[in-house]
Structure formats: C-alpha cells, structure tokens
Structure 1
Amino acid sequence: MSAYETFMKWRLRNNVPIKPPFECHVTAQERYKLMVDTTISPRLRELGFKGSGGRYELASASHWALLGFQKSAYSNRQAIRFTVNLTAVARDVWAREVEEHPYLGKRPSAGVDYGEAVPHDRIGPIAGHEDTWWDVRADEESVVTATEVLAEIEEFGLPWFHRHMG
C-alpha cells in the first residue's frame, strides 16, 4: 500500500471507499455542458452572439439570426451526439409569418424548419459536406470537438448569416 493510500485510509476511516485522485466519473452530459459553457459560449460571444447553453442569437435590429445546438434523441450518459442549426429571417418577415400563423410564437427557433420564407440549415451542408454530427463521450476530452465545431461556425456559419442578413 502506498503512502498516499495509507494516508487516505486513515483520513477517511469512516468506511468511505478510497478512490485514487486520477479516477473520475463524468457523464457525457457533464462533459458536453462543460464544453459549451467554457469553450463554445465564450468564443461565440467574442464573435458577437448573445446566449448560452446551446442557444445563441447574433445581435441584429433587422433580423433574427439564431444558432442552436441540437442533441440527438439517442444521446445517453456515455455519449452525446449533436449538430448545429442556423436560422436567419428578417424581423418584419417573421412578424408577417406570425400574423398568418400565431402558433409560431414571438421569435423563431434555430432548430425548426419553417419553410422557404425562413432560411434554415445545418452546419454540415453549409460547409459543403453531409449532415454533420459530433460526439462527446464520457471517457474522452472534448477539446478537439469544440475546436472543430467553432471552426465550422466561423468559416461557414458566419458567412451564411451575413448572406441571409444582407
């Protein structure tokens, strides 16, 4: 038994199981939340977005420009699969849509396809490839995933917004 284990056995002598300091049990949901809160949200704010927790709005007086993270229905404690949705629509166009269809609500959602009047897409097709989904796993760091997602948003998502808001 190492000195550390001996010390911890003495220190936690009330029948508390001893775990080495490197052992960590983190769920995929916890890793995903940490990735969004500590890496993705701060960078999106630097790029001009407001929001948190996977729902963001690019500041504009004339348009709704929304970016949203969509988790797969098949995500679980071991893995979260997600993609990024983008929606951009002039506020006056949205107001007319709501006038005709009051159930739509005061603001659109990035994850809903409202038809031709409201431009909507996922980041994969915008970037020129198939629908893209990323995975965050409980047993893996998510730094590379966050970097890839942010690169796609900066390289393809922002120009998409500017095209639809121009």
Structure 2
Amino acid sequence: MIDTAEAAFAAVQNWLDMRYEPAGDFRVRAVADGGPVWRAVVGRPGTHLGEFCARVDKVTGVVEVGFVPQIGPSARDGYMRMMRTTVVPELRRLGFTGSGRRFTLQIPKHSGTLVFQQSQGNTWMGVKFTADVSVASSPGWTARLGSISHHGCDHWWSVWAGFPSDEVAADLITAIRDHAVPLIKGERNPPGIPTAGSDVASFGQRLRDAVSHCLHRRSRSGPDHDKSPNW
C-alpha cells in the first residue's frame, strides 16, 4: 500500500534508478494525489519541474509512465493561472504592455516584444511553452527566450496538471528580467552580433577619417583639379 506522498516519491525514484542508467539521470520533482494513483513529475537535474509523468498505483505499488486520471485542473488551467497571477503582474512591473500572448516594452528609440507560444504536443497533463524576443530597430533581431537565458539552448518551460508552478514562474521571470529586458534596452549586445574589438573600432575610425579627408580635398580643389586616386 502506497498511502503517503513520501512513499510514492520513494517508489517512483526507485523505479527510475532501476530503469534508467546511470542512476541519478532522472529525479522525481513532485508528487500529487491522483485518486487511485499518485502522480509524479520526473526530470533531469536542472530542469524546471520536469520532463515527463509517471504514476504509482496506491494499492499495488506498480509504477508506469504516462497516463494518469484526469482529476482536477488541467495543465492549461495551471499555466493560465500562473501567467495571470504571477508572470503578467511582473511584466507590468518591468514596463511591458499588452495581453494574451504578446507583450511590448517601449523605450525611447525602439520597442521590443515578447510573444509566448505553446507546444503543439501539449496535453491535459502537461503544457510546454517558450517565448520569442524581438526588437524592431535597425538592425532588428529575434531570438528564443531560452536561447538567450539558458546557455544557448532552446529551453522550454513545463507546467503539469496538479503540480505547483512557482519554480517555473520564478525561472521564467528571471529569464525575462535578467536577459530579455537588458537586450531590448540595448544594455547588452544583440544575439548573433559580436562586439567590435578596439582594433576593429580603430580601423573603422581611420577609414572614416581617410574618406572624410578625401572628400574635403575634393570640395576645395573643385572638379577640374581633382587628382584623387581611384579607391
């Protein structure tokens, strides 16, 4: 009989250690009551909540991947609640306007947008989502939020039915506040555009000075006395 969340946690973790090698690759992140079974969310260390679900039968103790009874709020319900109560208020505090999927941060010279999108493979049990960050300037750019906040990886966040989303919301807000906003404001170099070194900048300035000097000579000598070489 698996009659406590702690026992369910231990049962699923033992099953993971036996099924996946080396042990420790997957860890139980959370468990929740699912009627005749305990629900469990499983993920690798460093993931935000989890990557897949398992269930453990309360009577037999048998652990299986995937299917769980659809009891209580769905993952989409949890996602919408997280956005409404935690993420959107923080976006407002950071200066974003908008609603739904699209939010805009207006600064003096240009604007940046944050557009949320969900995976086409979402189910009642799990919702995976990410966001695109873009800036309408010259040159403009677009990048995936996960790629600028999680070491270049195309990171997707997950919300699971019946499980808390505080950790997911905190990591998402950190990605927006500490990575997306500074890029939109121009406080960091945009993705894919390297910062010019001092030697490059010096060469560029010398080239501009040479062109300016040439044009100045031509304007003083007039068209009949232009002896400037071909460039």
Structure 2 length normalisation: TM-score?
0.47
Q: Which residue of 1 aligns with 2:166?
A: 143
Identity of aligned residues (%): 30
How do residues 8-27 of structure 1 correspond to structure 2 at under 5 angstroms?
25-27=72-74
Q: Given the superposition, is the C-alpha separation of residues 25 and 40 from structure 1 closer, same or farther in structure 2, using an over 3 Å criterion?
A: same
Q: Given the superposition, is the C-alpha separation of residues 79 and 27 from structure 1 closer, same or farther in structure 2, using an over 3 Å criterion?
A: same
2:143 to 121, 133, 136: 121
Cα pair 2:111 2:184 within 8 Å, conserved? no
Is residue 74 from structure 1 mapped to residue 74 from structure 2 by the alignment?
Answer: no
Q: How big is the alpha-carbon RMSD for the aligned residues of Structure 1 and Structure 2?
A: 2.3
Q: Which residue of 2 aligns with 1:17?
A: none
Shift of residue 53, structure 1, vs aligned partner:
2.4
One-letter identity of the residue aligned with 1:64: S
How do residues 15-164 of structure 1 correspond to structure 2 at under 5 angstroms?
25-60=72-107, 62-90=109-137, 118-127=140-149, 128-163=151-186
Cα pair 2:116 2:132 within 8 Å, conserved? yes
Distance (whole Å) between structure 2 residues aligned to residue 77 and residue 62 of structure 1: 42
Structure 1 length normalisation: TM-score?
0.65
Distance (whole Å) between structure 1 residues aligned to residue 187 and residue 174 of structure 2: 20
Distance (whole Å) between structure 2 residues aligned to residue 60 and residue 84 of structure 1: 20
Cα pair 1:88 1:120 within 8 Å, conserved? yes
Q: Which runs of 4+ in 1 moved over 4 A?
A: none
53-62 vs 77-86, which moves further: 53-62
> How far does the alpha carbon of each residue in 1:122-154 deviate from its partner, in whole angstroms, 9 at most, with x for none?
112212231110100012111110000001111
The higher-RCO structure (CA 8 Å, 6+ apart) is: 1
Aligned residue for 1:159, secondary structure, equals helix
Aligned residue for 1:25, secondary structure, equals coil
In structure 2, list runs of 5 or more residues that go unmatched.
1-70, 190-231
Shift of residue 61, structure 1, vs aligned partner:
5.4
One-letter identity of the residue aligned with 1:51: G
Cα pair 1:89 1:164 within 8 Å, conserved? no
* Paired residue total: 119
Q: Given the superposition, is the C-alpha separation of residues 72 and 80 from structure 1 closer, same or farther in structure 2, using an over 3 Å criterion?
A: same
Larger radius of gyration: 2
Distance (whole Å) between structure 2 residues aligned to residue 37 and residue 55 of structure 1: 14
Cα pair 1:86 1:122 within 8 Å, conserved? yes
In structure 1, list runs of 5 or more residues that go unmatched.
1-23, 94-116
One-letter identity of the residue aligned with 1:163: G
